[in-house]
């Protein structure tokens, strides 16, 4: 049973759209000249972010997905990262951009980057929508970050609480009542 809660808007849809455009410009510049960038979305939280981001990247791209879990229906990380769905394609010798919704403790992104590095890519970089550096337990920093946020439980723009609120067009702070 979920605790009752309300959602306060934290980052507007307009601010997200502007930042996504900026991130895409930076990524397009960094990978200029690549024959095909492999953009790997971490499901399920990144699906809206990756869709908006890849539409703004001015490069030939391929999109693939990993589904990993460290939260389940909880608001706290279990610190155990499980791969639920692996990539379909090969990344050996390719430029890879991992797209994640939020970096909290750092366990998930660290695990994914190490896993992908074992597959012999040309390079692996990370782009995250939200970063909570105050919660970091593993030293990791994404190459690109949309927004740094305080230690708040957030939903919206693909991010859920117990599979709800992914469809909000903004990032909202969950306040339990």
Phi, psi of 137, rounded to the nearest 5 degrees: -115, -15
CATH architecture of 12-150: 3-Layer(aba) Sandwich (3.40)
Q: Give the length of the chain.
A: 177
**pLDDT score of 2:** 75
Determine whether 104 is an active site residue.
yes
**pLDDT score of 71:** 55
Question: Is residue 101 classed as helix, strand or coil in its secondary structure?
Answer: strand
**Active-site annotation holder among 95, 104, 120, 131:** 104
Phi, psi of 90, rounded to the nearest 5 degrees: -90, 145
- In whole angstroms, give the CA distance from residue 88 to residue 65: 8
Digits of tens for pLDDT over the chain (177 positions)? 678 999 999 999 999 999 999 999 999 999 999 998 999 999 989 999 999 999 999 999 999 999 987 755 445 555 678 889 999 999 999 999 999 999 999 999 999 999 999 999 999 999 999 999 999 999 999 999 999 999 999 999 999 998 899 999 999 999 999
Sheet with 5-11: list strands edge to edge. Answer: 5-11, 171-176, 154-155
Domain ranges of the chain: 12-150
**pLDDT score of 78:** 56
**pLDDT score of 69:** 78
**pLDDT score of 76:** 56
Helical (H) or strand (E) element with 29:
helix 13-30
Query: The pTM is what?
Result: 0.91
């Amino acid at each position: 049973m979920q605790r009752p809660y309300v959602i306060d808007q934290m980052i507007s849809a307009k601010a997200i759209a502007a930042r996504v455009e900026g991130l895409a410009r930076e990524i397009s510049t960094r990978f200029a000249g690549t024959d095909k960038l492999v953009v790997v979305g971490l499901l399920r939280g990144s699906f809206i972010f990756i869709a908006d981001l890849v539409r703004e990247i001015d490069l030939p791209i391929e999109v693939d997905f990993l589904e990993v879990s460290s939260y389940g229906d909880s608001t706290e990380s279990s610190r155990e990262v499980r791969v639920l769905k692996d990539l379909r394609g090969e990344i050996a010798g390719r430029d890879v951009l991992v797209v994640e919704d939020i970096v909290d403790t750092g366990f998930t992104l660290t695990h994914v980057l190490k896993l992908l590095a074992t597959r012999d890519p040309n390079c692996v970089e990370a782009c995250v929508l939200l970063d909570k550096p105050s919660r970091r337990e593993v030293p990791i920093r994404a190459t690109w970050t949309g927004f740094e946020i305080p230690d708040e439980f957030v939903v919206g723009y693909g991010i859920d609480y117990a599979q709800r609120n992914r469809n909000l067009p903004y990032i909202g702070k969950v306040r339990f009542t």
